[in-house]
């Protein structure tokens, strides 16, 4: 007998019919003899609706009151699901985050879980009940309701699974699982059966649409096996877990992530002296702007170029900052390019294989795609290219590394 934490997202509990379907699924797991703790989101659209209500009244509602308001969304679904379970003769009990003591810090709307008291849940499980917990919410030391940030129910589920040492945390959603790349770009993208936490974090640009990336970090830290699967199909989905050392045939590349939401800033012709990188990047990070890729060229003539990427939404502000310091650092020129895309090949198998980078570069060269920046880490190689070649590049790489689903191609 195992203990599963099953989390159902907004679409999965989007109507009373769907809530009843969730109840059937939970009961099917119970019938196999397992204990189940269910975590639910608010009905789809509900959190946004509540936020609009708040904004209709106040431009800047206090975060404490926003949390009191938003947490009601999940309170509705825990009660309805418990009723649906009871109607089917299954003993069930709903709990808000505070009732099962999901203790968080005091940062409203982006609270972090500090600790969970598992006693209450364990005693309910021991009485043969299904425990239904409201996702996305907790309580701080002073008894205030807190919420964990948008998409936070995933993190609630993982945290509960960690506290209860559950055998698996299953995230039921509206897609079948994690794919080798975005199926909207590459038609024969293949559903991955297993993937490591590390890879999933690197594939965040694909996975972020499926689950809150913070929940993957959490699951990795506490070694909670995490499964992403569809609540509308019978399919085991994708299991995210630790690297299996015994697995001889670990694929070299697991997936291809990409993003179009970055911009490239180049500061050229600055003197190549100690402290120059700090003078350029320092003010940008001080403004709270996240810098992603950074490259600096070797200098032949005593000057150097520093190129870095930031989120496209931050790029104008970044240029203004650099423009202001440009004169001090004696930059020859500051340029901003918003039409770039970053593509990353990800795979733990890369660690033990040479030649991945050259194959990647050859594939892009064969398509006459110019690479602007290259960066690597142990399990990832990223390139920045002109945005207009993004789809071509992803498709070419996907087929060069034979990632496709044969049945679909």
Interacting positions 138-157 with ligand ASP (CB under 6 A): 150-153
Nearer to ligand ASP, 134 or 331 (CB): 134
Residue 42 interacts, among Mg ion, ligand ASP, none and using kind-specific CB cut-offs from 5 to 8 Å, with ligand ASP
d(CA 160, CA 136): 12
Evaluate whether 133 touches 29 at the Cβ level (below 8 Å): no
Q: What is the x/- site pattern for Mg ion, positions 263-282, by CB under 5 A?
A: --------------------
Among 11, 47, 304, 318, binds ligand ASP (CB under 6 A): 47
- Pairing mode of beta strands 35-40, 113-116: unpaired
81 counts as binding ligand ASP under rule CB under 6 A: no
Residue with smaller CB distance to ligand ASP, 217 or 367: 217
Among 7, 9, 241, 381, binds Mg ion (CB under 5 A): 9
Judged by beta carbon distances under 5 to 8 A according to partner kind, the member of Mg ion, ligand ASP, none in contact with residue 280 is none
State the minimum distance, in angstroms, from the CB of residue 236 to ligand ASP.
Answer: 22
State the binding partner of 404 from ligand ASP, Mg ion, none, CB within 5 to 8 A by kind. Answer: none
Q: Min. distance of Cβ 25 from ligand ASP in angstroms?
A: 18
**Residue selected from 37, 42, 164, 379 as contacting ligand ASP according to rule CB under 6 A:** 42
Residue 7 beta carbon to ligand ASP: minimum distance, rounded to whole angstroms: 8
Task: Please identify, among the stretches 148-156, 192-200, 215-223, 397-405, the one whose residues bind Mg ion according to the rule CB under 5 A.
Answer: 148-156
Q: Under rule CB under 5 A, how many of the chain's residues touch Mg ion?
A: 2
**Considering CB under 6 A, how many residues would be counted as binding ligand ASP?**
12
Q: Which does 136 bind (CB under 5 to 8 A by kind): ligand ASP, Mg ion, none?
A: ligand ASP
Return the residue of 151, 220, 255, 347 that touches Mg ion, per CB under 5 A. 151
Helices 63-87, 16-31: axis angle to 10 degrees equals 60
Residues of span 99-138 touching ligand ASP by CB under 6 A: 135-136
Contact track, ligand ASP, 48-77, x by CB under 6 A? -------------------------x----
C-beta of residue 35 within 8 angstroms of C-beta of residue 123: no
- Cβ atoms 239, 176 nearer than 8 A: no
Residue 395 C-beta: closest distance to ligand ASP, Å: 32
Task: Kindly state whether residue 14 participates in binding Mg ion, applying the rule CB under 5 A.
Answer: no
- Binding residues among 22-41 for ligand ASP as defined by CB under 6 A: 41
Cβ partners under 8 Å of residue 170, min gap 6: 4, 5, 6, 7, 227, 229
Least distance in angstroms from the C-beta of 257 to Mg ion: 19
Contact footprint for ligand ASP (CB under 6 A): 9-10, 41-42, 47, 73, 135-136, 150-153
Contact footprint for Mg ion (CB under 5 A): 9, 151
């Amino acid at each position: 007998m195992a203990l599963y934490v099953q989390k159902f997202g907004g679409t999965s509990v989007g109507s009373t019919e769907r809530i009843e379907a969730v109840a059937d699924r939970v009961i099917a797991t119970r019938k196999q003899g397992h204990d189940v703790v269910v975590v639910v989101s608010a009905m789809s659209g509900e959190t946004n609706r509540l936020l609009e209500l708040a904004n209709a009244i106040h431009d800047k509602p206090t975060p404490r009151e926003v949390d009191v308001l938003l947490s009601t969304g999940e309170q509705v679904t825990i009660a309805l699901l418990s009723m649906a379970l009871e109607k089917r003769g299954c003993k069930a009990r709903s709990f808000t985050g505070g009732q099962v003591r999901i203790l968080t810090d005091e940062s409203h709307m982006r609270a972090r879980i500090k600790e969970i008291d598992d006693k209450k849940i364990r005693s309910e499980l021991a009485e043969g009940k299904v425990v239904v917990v409201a996702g996305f919410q907790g309580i701080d030391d002073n008894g205030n309701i807190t919420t964990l940030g948008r998409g936070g129910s995933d993190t609630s589920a993982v945290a509960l699974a960690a506290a209860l040492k559950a055998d698996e945390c299953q995230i039921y959603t509206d897609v079948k699982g994690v794919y080798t790349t975005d199926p909207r770009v590459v038609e024969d993208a293949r559903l991955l059966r297993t993937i490591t936490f590390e890879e999933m974090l690197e594939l965040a640009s694909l996975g972020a649409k499926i689950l809150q990336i913070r929940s993957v970090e959490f699951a990795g830290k506490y070694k909670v096996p995490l499964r992403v699967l569809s609540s509308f199909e019978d399919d085991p989905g994708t299991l995210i877990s630790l690297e299996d050392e015994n697995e001889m045939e670990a694929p070299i590349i697991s997936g291809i992530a990409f993003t179009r939401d970055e911009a490239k800033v180049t500061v050229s012709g600055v003197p190549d002296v100690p402290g120059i990188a700090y003078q350029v990047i320092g003010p940008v990070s001080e403004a709270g702007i996240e810098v992603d890729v950074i490259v600096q060229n070797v200098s032949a003539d005593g000057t150097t170029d520093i190129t870095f990427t930031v989120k496209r939404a931050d790029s104008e502000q970044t240029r203004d900052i650099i423009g202001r310091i440009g004169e001090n650092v004696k930059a020859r020129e500051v340029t901003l390019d918003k039409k770039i895309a970053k593509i990353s090949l990800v795979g733990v198998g890369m660690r033990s294989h040479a030649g991945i980078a050259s194959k990647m570069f050859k594939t892009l060269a064969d398509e006459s795609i110019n690479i602007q920046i290259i960066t690597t880490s142990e399990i990832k190689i990223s390139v920045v290219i002109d945005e207009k070649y993004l789809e071509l590049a992803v498709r070419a790489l996907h087929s060069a590394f034979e990632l496709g689903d044969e049945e679909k191609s």
